[in-house]
Amino acid sequence: MRNKRFLFVLLLCLAMAFSSVAVASEIMPFWNSNAKCVPNLVISGNNAYCTLNVDPASSSDKITANISLQKQNSRGNYTTQQSWTNQTGTGKLRFSATGSASDSGSYRIKCDVVVNGSGGTDNITVYAYDNK
């Protein structure tokens, strides 16, 4: 009986260890450039205030971003309402724009960022959400 309890506790500990590793890998983005990408979306009235700040590790890293303002439909999918493509910067990128949020519902901005530096090229996608 003692061996069964020991085996049960051992298996339980292993299961907890593996599950915590799986969760950590899903929520922690990893890219080589060490770029910090911070999107923000604020819906106020009929306006959607969209920002994206990208700070790469090196001041010589080249940044390109495509930003889309998207609205969630009744099936839970997002459709693009407005987009701003080929936003570029070297060493940092500061993007700010105002879009239209005419209907009630859930909105998000999707930011597809490419950081090209001495450590290689990273493709990063980040989101920010808000409701009207």
Identify the pLDDT of residue 23: 40
Q: Got the DSSP string for 31-93?
A: -TT--EEEEEEEEETTEEEEEEEEE-SSTT-EEEEEEEEEEE-TTS-EEEEEEEEEEEEES-E
Residue 118: predicted pLDDT: 80
Write down the residue that tokens 């597809």 correspond to: 112
Return the pLDDT at 17.
Answer: 53
Q: What are the tens digits of pLDDT across the range 29-60? A: 555 557 899 999 999 999 999 999 999 989 99
pLDDT number for residue 26: 43
Q: Hey, what amino acid is at 113?
A: V
- How far is Cα 122 from Cα 114, in angstroms, rounded to an integer? 6
pTM: 0.74
Segment 70-125, tens digit of pLDDT: 999 999 999 999 999 999 999 999 999 999 998 789 999 999 999 998 878 999 99
> What's residue 11's pLDDT?
55
